[in-house]
């Protein structure tokens, strides 16, 4: 089948529209409402083209091809129609380009220049629209709106939440939120890119630069394990904004709000700008040599009685060097799992945990079981794939979690269970499992990071793995941080060297206590004791008791101020270069976007300099090569973690506490992005079973592990899970919250 566009013959297939054929062959057709990832409405009428035999020009975006069809995109009929539409679009447009952020990259400007007229016949009063406040992330200038409805369709079709809609009729048609409320979707920022004009703007970028002055550099997300591809736009060594870089394997044309707005924190007042050393009660400025010497001496001095805990947000290069530095000094207690407390599974864990299937294969699945993650909040990009699967394949999605939440896609069934029930319902050795799906289908189980915080994580992993295997399902393990897969592969675990090579020395049971108080030296890398550990009481106690505490950190916190002996000022991810391994085991490189603030330094540079003091042959190039070599050797077939002779650690009659972390503050930089947190991280609460009472409505006292904790937050009650107190906390809670998962008394 073929058609002619402007007298040239093109191969087409039956369901092509004219605009698809034109786009494939780089024939320019102006458009506003059309977007390749949204449904077709053909309402802007910018894409009108001449079709032989049709009385009037036809919209190229919605007109299907016919064999032998003759299309002209530039003849008088087509160009006059385009000019007419352009004239209509501009009569009510404010033409305030000089003060509009979109100027320079505005589709209306571009199309106007090519297809419009330089003068207007319109002499009446122009329409103005009063703006509504729709939150801290997206600012509006609705008088500029051209009603293309891309933002509306994005909400309905991609983000799965109808927040922006059309109200009014005719000339008074407006795009606004139906109720007076800010946008709440974790994908809300995408409407900024979609809006062809300056109606929906990036609040962080607003009035801070002109588009043509910006420099574009590509990067990788540091906020979740999907590894979305990003462009940063900078001006004079400052990040002005962040937009998606198209990637058909990961983020398509979209970005989560965390990724888009997640750099605001780097300018926080908490930034550590100099090397610091303790003098009495204070940390004082010093130089890198002094603290490097201190570190080397401490490593030698405390050697086996040391512990290194590193964030899995660190790059593979930092990880490789970190474990190298510690292991060369005979320190084996190295870990990245600061939020976990049950490690009995570790020997059986895959060398490199992953999603196992390509994201693009999600749309062919029949059933998906999601365990322990609120996908639309924690992995918004993933939720887009789920929505696609439901649309494409009528996929059934089941959710199992420890608390109730909403998703932006329909769930076939959702179960709210406590940790013991979670383990039990996948127990294949009991007569019936609670989960009934068609086993012959193409099915997947996804395990979210929050499950790893539970004190019976190993039991759950074990049961789910056996369930998955016996039902012929694949198992995906979603990482807690951007480089969790990298941390496993680079040996940031006590029992394995890079590449997953087992160390025999670790004790048989595979279990050990990360936060025991037996270490004399603590090296804490890019983790904040208050917010990043499975038990804040324990880590603070540990810091108090140890003889030396060495921090690598970008930000100052109360505990660092109080307990650190030295602090290396780390540059943030956007000020560093490195690589991450995403959940599809893809190694992705990122470059430095801006120069580090103050004297802060790329962690890989700091670590390499220190390593060079005893191993001068090590270079950045060499490290990169080693990383590639290690990855090339790793071969993992599945993610099943089956453990023999595992004890049940729980007794379901006790009241347990489960802490729910807010995904918008999962790393030190995100925690300091105020606009993001104001929009998305604002529902802290504790929730108790219906049959329990506490005296105060916004206060709860918890007795756990000989500690008494007092939390002053909103109270809720729940029917499920039974025997469970839930504590949902945002990024920068002031009070101690204790263990993420433990027995408690009220």
Partner 1 sequence: MIKVCTQTFGHKNPSSIDTYIKLGGYSAWKKIITEKTSKSEIINTVKESQLKGKGGAGFLTGLKWSFISPNDSQKYLVCNSDESEPGTCKDRDILRYNPHSVIEGMLIACYAIGASVGYNYLRGEFIGDQWNVTNNAIKEAYDQKLIGTNILESNISIDIIPLIGAGAYIVGEETAMLESIEGKRGMPRIKPPFPAVQGLYGKPTIINNTETLSSIPYIIKNGTDWYKNLGEGDSHGVKMFCMSGHLTKPNVIEAPLGTRFSKLLDECGGVLDNKKLKAVIPGGSSVPVVKGEVIMDTPMDYEPLMKIGTMLGSGGVIVMDESTCMVSVLERISRFYYAESCGQCTPCREGTGWLYKTLVKIRSGHGSQSDLDLLNRVANQIEGHCICALGDAAAMPVKSFLTNFWNEFEYFVEKKQSMII
Q: How far apart are CA 588 and CA 585, in angstroms?
A: 9
Binding status of residue 129 toward ligand SF4 by CB under 6 A: no
Cβ neighbours of 112 (radius 10 Å): 21
Question: Where do contacts with partner 1 occur on this chain (CB under 8 A)?
Answer: 40-46, 48, 55-57, 59, 62, 64, 81, 84-85, 87-89, 91-92, 121-122, 124-125, 127, 146-147, 149, 165-166, 168-173
Q: Which is nearer to partner 1, 111 or 540 (CB)?
A: 111
CB under 5 to 8 A by kind: which of ligand FES, partner 1, ligand SF4, none does 34 bind? ligand FES
Stretch that binds ligand FES, among 42-50, 271-279, 448-456, 540-548 (CB under 6 A): 42-50
Site for ligand SF4 in 174-193 (CB under 6 A): 175
Q: How far apart are CA 109 and CA 461, in angstroms?
A: 55
Q: How far apart are CA 553 and CA 263, in angstroms?
A: 16
Binding status of residue 48 toward ligand SF4 by CB under 6 A: no
Stretch that binds ligand SF4, among 142-150, 225-233, 333-341, 544-552 (CB under 6 A): 142-150
CB 427 within 8 A of CB 456: no
Binding status of residue 34 toward ligand FES by CB under 6 A: yes
The site string for ligand SF4 over 194-233 (x = CB under 6 A, - otherwise) reads xxxx-xx---------------------------------
φ, ψ of residue 254 in degrees (nearest 5): -115, 165
Which residue's entry shows tokens 């005893």? Answer: 614
Distances (CA, A) of 232 to 266, 317, 482: 14, 22, 18
Cβ neighbours of 235 (radius 10 Å): 15
Using CB under 6 A, pick the residue from 3, 38, 45, 608 that binds ligand FES: 45
Q: How far apart are CA 640 and CA 465, in angstroms?
A: 5
CB under 5 to 8 A by kind: which of ligand FES, partner 1, ligand SF4, none does 199 bind? ligand SF4
Angle between helices 620-633 and 603-612 (to 10 degrees): 100
Stretch that binds ligand FES, among 37-45, 130-138, 387-395, 458-466 (CB under 6 A): 37-45
Q: How far apart are CA 593 and CA 574, in angstroms?
A: 5
The distance in angstroms from the start CA to the end CA of the chain is: 73
Site for ligand FES in 692-721 (CB under 6 A): none
Q: Report in angstroms how near the CB of residue 172 gets to ligand SF4 at its nearest.
A: 12
CB 398 within 8 A of CB 412: yes
Distances (CA, A) of 359 to 29, 74, 690: 32, 40, 40
Binding status of residue 78 toward ligand FES by CB under 6 A: no
Using CB under 6 A, pick the residue from 5, 12, 27, 33 that binds ligand FES: 33
With CB under 6 A, what is the number of residues at the site for ligand SF4?
A: 14
Q: Which is nearer to ligand SF4, 38 or 309 (CB)?
A: 38
Binding status of residue 150 toward ligand FES by CB under 6 A: no
CB under 5 to 8 A by kind: which of ligand FES, ligand SF4, partner 1, none does 47 bind? ligand FES
What is the Cα gyration radius of the chain?
28
With CB under 6 A, what is the number of residues at the site for ligand FES?
A: 12
Cβ neighbours of 116 (radius 10 Å): 21
Q: Report in angstroms how near the CB of residue 145 gets to ligand SF4 at its nearest.
A: 3
Q: Report in angstroms how near the CB of residue 216 gets to ligand FES at its nearest.
A: 26
φ, ψ of residue 426 in degrees (nearest 5): -110, 15
Distances (CA, A) of 351 to 309, 500, 627, 634, 639: 19, 5, 14, 7, 9
Binding status of residue 44 toward ligand FES by CB under 6 A: yes
φ, ψ of residue 393 in degrees (nearest 5): -130, 10
Q: Report in angstroms how near the CB of residue 44 gets to ligand FES at its nearest.
A: 3
CB 240 within 8 A of CB 233: yes
* Interacting residues toward ligand SF4 by CB under 6 A: 145-151, 175, 194-197, 199-200
* Interacting residues toward ligand FES by CB under 6 A: 31-34, 42-47, 59, 61
């Amino acid at each position: 089948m073929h058609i002619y566009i402007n007298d040239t013959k093109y191969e087409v297939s039956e369901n092509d529209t004219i605009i698809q054929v034109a786009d494939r062959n780089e024939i320019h057709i102006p458009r506003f409402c059309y977007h390749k990832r949204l449904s077709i409405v053909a309402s802007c009428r910018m894409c009108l083209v001449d079709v032989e035999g049709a009385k009037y020009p036809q919209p190229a975006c919605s007109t299907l091809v016919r064999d032998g069809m003759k299309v002209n995109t530039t003849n008088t009929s087509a160009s006059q129609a385009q000019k007419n539409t352009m004239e209509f679009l501009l009569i009510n447009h404010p033409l305030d380009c000089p003060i509009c952020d979109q100027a320079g990259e505005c589709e209306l400007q571009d199309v106007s220049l090519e297809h419009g007229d330089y003068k207007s016949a319109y002499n009446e009063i122009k329409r103005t629209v009063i703006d509504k406040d729709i939150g801290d992330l997206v600012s509006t200038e609705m008088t500029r709106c051209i009603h293309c409805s891309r933002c509306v369709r994005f909400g309905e079709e991609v983000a799965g939440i109808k927040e922006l809609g059309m109200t009014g009729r005719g000339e008074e048609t407006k795009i606004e939120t139906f109720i007076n409320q800010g946008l709440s979707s974790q994908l809300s920022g995408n409407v900024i890119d979609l809006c062809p004009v300056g109606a929906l703007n990036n609040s962080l970028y607003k009035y801070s630069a002109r588009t043509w002055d910006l420099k574009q550099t590509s990067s990788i997300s540091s906020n979740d394990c999907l590894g979305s591809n990003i462009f940063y736009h900078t001006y004079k060594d400052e990040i002005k904004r962040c937009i998606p870089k198209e990637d058909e394997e990961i983020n398509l044309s979209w970005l989560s709000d965390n990724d888009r707005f997640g750099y605001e924190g780097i300018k926080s007042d908490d930034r550590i700008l100099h090397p610091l050393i303790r003098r009495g009660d204070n940390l004082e400025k010093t130089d890198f040599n002094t603290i490097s010497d201190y570190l080397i001496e401490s490593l030698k001095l405390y050697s086996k009685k040391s512990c290194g805990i590193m964030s899995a947000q660190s790059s593979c290069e930092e990880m490789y060097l970190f474990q190298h530095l510690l292991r060369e000094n005979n320190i084996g207690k190295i870990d990245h799992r600061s939020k976990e407390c049950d490690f009995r599974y570790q020997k059986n864990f895959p060398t490199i945990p992953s999603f196992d299937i390509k994201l693009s294969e999600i749309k062919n699945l029949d059933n998906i079981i999601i365990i322990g993650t609120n996908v639309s909040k924690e992995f918004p990009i993933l939720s887009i794939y789920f929505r696609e699967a439901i649309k494409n394949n009528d996929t059934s999605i089941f959710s199992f979690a420890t608390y109730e939440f909403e998703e932006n896609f329909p769930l076939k069934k959702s179960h709210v269970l406590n940790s013991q029930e979670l383990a039990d319902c996948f127990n294949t050795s009991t007569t019936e499992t609670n989960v009934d799906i068609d086993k012959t289908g193409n099915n997947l189980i996804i395990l979210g990071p929050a499950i790893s915080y539970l004190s019976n994580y190993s039991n759950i992993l074990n049961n789910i793995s056996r369930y998955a295997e016996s039902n012929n399902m694949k198992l995906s393990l979603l990482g807690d941080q951007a480089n969790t897969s990298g941390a496993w592969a680079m040996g940031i675990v006590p029992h394995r060297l890079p590449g997953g090579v087992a160390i025999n020395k670790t004790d048989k049971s595979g279990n050990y206590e990360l936060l025991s108080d037996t270490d004399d030296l603590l090296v804490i890398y890019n983790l904040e004791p208050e917010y990043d550990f499975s038990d804040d009481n324990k880590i603070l106690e540990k810091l108090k008791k140890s003889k030396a505490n060495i921090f690598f950190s970008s930000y100052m916190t109360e505990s660092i101020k109080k307990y650190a002996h030295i602090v290396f000022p780390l540059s943030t991810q956007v000020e560093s270069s490195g690589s991450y391994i995403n959940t599809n085991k893809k190694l992705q490189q990122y470059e430095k976007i801006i120069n580090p603030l103050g004297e802060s330094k790329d962690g890989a540079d700091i670590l390499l300099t220190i390593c060079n003091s005893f191993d001068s042959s090590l270079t950045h190039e060499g490290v990169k090569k080693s990383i590639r070599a290690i990855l090339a050797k790793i071969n993992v077939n599945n993610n099943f973690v089956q453990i023999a002779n595992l004890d049940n650690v729980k007794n379901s009659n006790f009241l347990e506490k489960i802490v729910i972390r807010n995904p918008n503050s999962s790393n030190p930089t995100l925690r300091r992005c105020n606009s993001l947190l104001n929009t998305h991280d604002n529902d802290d609460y504790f929730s108790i079973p219906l049959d329990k009472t506490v005296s105060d409505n916004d206060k709860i006292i918890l007795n756990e592990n000989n500690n008494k904790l007092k939390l002053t937050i909103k109270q809720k009650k729940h029917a499920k899970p039974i025997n469970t107190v839930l504590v949902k906390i945002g990024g920068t809670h002031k009070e101690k919250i204790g263990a993420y998962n433990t027995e408690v008394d009220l």
